[in-house]
Amino acid sequence: MKNRILTIVVFVITTCNFIHADLSITSTSQVKGNEFEQLMEKIRQDFANNPAPEKIEEELKSYNDTDGSFTDVDYASIQRTNWPPITHVDRLSDFAFAYTNPQNKYYGDESLFKKIEKGLEYWHERNPWCHNWWYNQIAEPQKLGILLIQMRIGEKQLPASLESKLLERIKKDGGDPAKWTGANRTDIALHWIYRACLSENEADLETALENIYSPIVYTTKEGFQYDNSYFQHGQQLYIGGYGDEILKGITQVAIYTKGTRFAIPQDKLTLVSKFMRETYYATIRGQYMLFDVLGRGVSRPNVTDKSHTALFAKRMVELDKEHADEFKAIIARLEGKKPAGYALKSAHTHYFRGDYTLHVRPGYTFDVRMVSNRTMRCEYGNGENLKTYFMSDGCTNIVTTGNEYANIFPVWNWTRIPGVTAPQVQETPKAASDWQTPGTSTFAGGVSDSLYGVSAYAYMDTFAGVNTGARKAWFFFDNEIVCLGAGINSSSANEINTTINQCLSVPEKKILVSSNKKRSEIMNGKFVYNSPEWILHNDIAYLFPNGGNVFVSKQNQSGNWYDINNTASKEQQQMEIFSLGFDHGQQPSDATYAYIVVPGKDTAEKIEKYKKQDEIEIAMNTADLQVVRNKKLGIWEMVFYNAGVFSHRDIHVTVDKACTLMIKEDGTRTARLHIADPGQTESDIQVSILLPNQSKEAKTIRCSFKDSGIYAGATKVYDISF
């Protein structure tokens, strides 16, 4: 093992272009003494920093020369989020980078060195402790490790005794990565690398590198899922947040070890690249991530802005040459050098493990987040995301530029989350558990052919007086998404709304409405329309083919971050918000709704032209069956909530079990059937199809889902000849 470790760490003296030296030198005599230093040099370059002198001067104002503490830091705090004591380490890190950077005013400053030394002594002796394990086992050890690596290149060296006891504390408190999963394992393994380099411990380096790459497998536990989604904290969708963390760690270490025998294995690089290109970055429009994949982090200011993740993509340009152009396009979008739709390819994915659907087109992105008894509701732990309850119940993002929801959350009406049917309660309920509360739906899923699809969600929520249920479906095509609801029932005393959208208003763009064939502009205020034809906002048209009692508003809304995140500011925020939805009244019985979202329409004339094309047919919208046809594409999309028959002049379909299916006609006596089981029952489904214009007899297909295991919710495909 020793020779293997020595080979690993024979790195070239790194340059910014990551050029590597000949790795053939392996003898101990040639490499001993510099192997770990060369790895640390890579780490230093990764975290290179030149703090502004003004920042150092400001931080020095509260430095206590007597004991090495900071007078404005609450070292006794056990606050679970934004833990105040970590500020001490952050400031010492600033001092360390200023002291070691030749371009800095404080380079080699003797007085600053003494403050760093005394500050580290104070931290070790004071030993602050947080009730959130993450600070003790990840944040603090990582920050201290990087600080100590940086100080190794200072004019003066920290006393060996001080460094030694800090490393011992990191080892003791930092934990064993093998006992954790997913991003947490990777984060702990990172500070094992730092400590191994500082102490020249080959065994610890071996352990660290093994644990960095071991989470890069498909799993049914926390981590990368077989549908290319990501889970953390149980079966909970966490593409952002913990997805950020694991990608940060993996790509960081993969760059360190590139070109060595410890380089990331090709199969693991392939998995990471696929997740990044097809899922992670696909949920980012322009510079902003869709809010419903961020977990409890959605309640943190500026969290949807993911421009900083261009760093991960830049690393992948070096690591994955085959897909370098894709990553370069991602970087261009994240850095704002290209528009949000630049180089995007059309794609449709239903994540059958995550109860999540993502529909991407160059002109827009639309997603749906559901929850079943197989997955967890969005969490609200550590005092964060306190109003999240309805976010898992068919929540949708509708974005073109990406910033439609940027920092909207403190002023949001959290009972009007886009896509959701919910009672307008005075206080948003909290799920039974803050960390892992499963949904109750047994029918949440969808069918997909990679370009088109339909997703469905059936539920009845009796928790905390919600007492509301519905059968909701989303039908995805190129130019539009058809959204249907049926079987809407509630015994709640509150009005029941289905919210279509609640996003930032765009002052420079008019909100237009067509009602009773009369067009008008919506000014500030709240308005109600009985069966309008369409409403236009921010280049997105909303059509109402079956009418309904529609509310729309453009008004200032106020609130603060603290109300959704008890570690954030209480300062009042005010924003102008556009809201649109259906009012089903109190205690509706078998209510329905239908709306069509058509992005890319910026004038009334374009909307009317789209309507005249008449490409969409809503053939059925009941609690038993929802069917939409796209005439231009020759696609039928259907949701059967139980065994049943759909009969139409052009098609007859019979199924013996609940399912979602899609039939694509080509007019040549053949068709293709895509089918999925949102209930994941692993039971065969028999489908009979008759296309009267192609055949006089129905074709029967037995679709096999038996023993499908983790793929029980995945789409199956059958070609049919008539």
Catalytic residues: 233, 242, 296
Please compute, for residue 51, the number of CA atoms within 13 A of its CA located in the half-sphere on the CB side: 21
Structure tokens at 194: 């730092």
List CB contacts of 80: < 8 A, sequence separation 6 or more: 130, 131, 132, 382, 383, 567
Q: 110-126 and 86-100 are packed helices; what angle lies between their axes, rounded to 10 degrees?
A: 150
Nearest Cα to Cα of residue 249 among 182, 173, 174: 182
Find where tokens 């237009």 sit.
Answer: 512
Sign of CA dihedral 178, 180, 181, 187: negative
Measured CA to CA, the distance from residue 255 to residue 39 in angstroms comes to 11
Distance between CA atoms of residues 711 and 124, nearest Å? 50
The whole-angstrom separation of Cα 495 and Cα 715 is: 37
SS3 364: strand
The token duo for 508 is 């420079």
Contacts of 264 (CB under 8 A, 6+ apart): 213, 216, 250, 253, 254, 257, 258, 272, 319
According to DSSP, the β-strands at 716-721 and 443-448 are unpaired
The whole-angstrom separation of Cα 96 and Cα 113 is 8
Burial degree of 329 (CB within 10 A; 0-12, 13-18, 19+): middle
Closest by CA position to 577, among listed 667, 510, 501 = 501
CA atoms of 160 and 138, how far apart (whole Å) = 23
Please tell me the distance from the alpha carbon of residue 313 to that of residue 318, in angstroms, as a whole number: 9
Residues, the chain: 722
CB 610, CB 631: distance < 8 Å: no
Q: Is the dihedral of CA 551, 554, 555, 558 positive or negative?
A: positive
Is the separation of the CB atoms in 569 and 560 below 8 Å? yes
Closest CA to 124 of 80, 81, 92, 79: 92
- Cβ atoms of 278 and 26 within 8 Å: the answer is no
**How far, CA to CA in Å, does 713 sit from each of 357, 372, 444, 677, 720?**
12, 12, 9, 5, 22
- Say whether 112 sits in a helix, a strand or coil: helix
Three-state DSSP class for residue 347: strand
DSSP 8-state class, residue 685? E
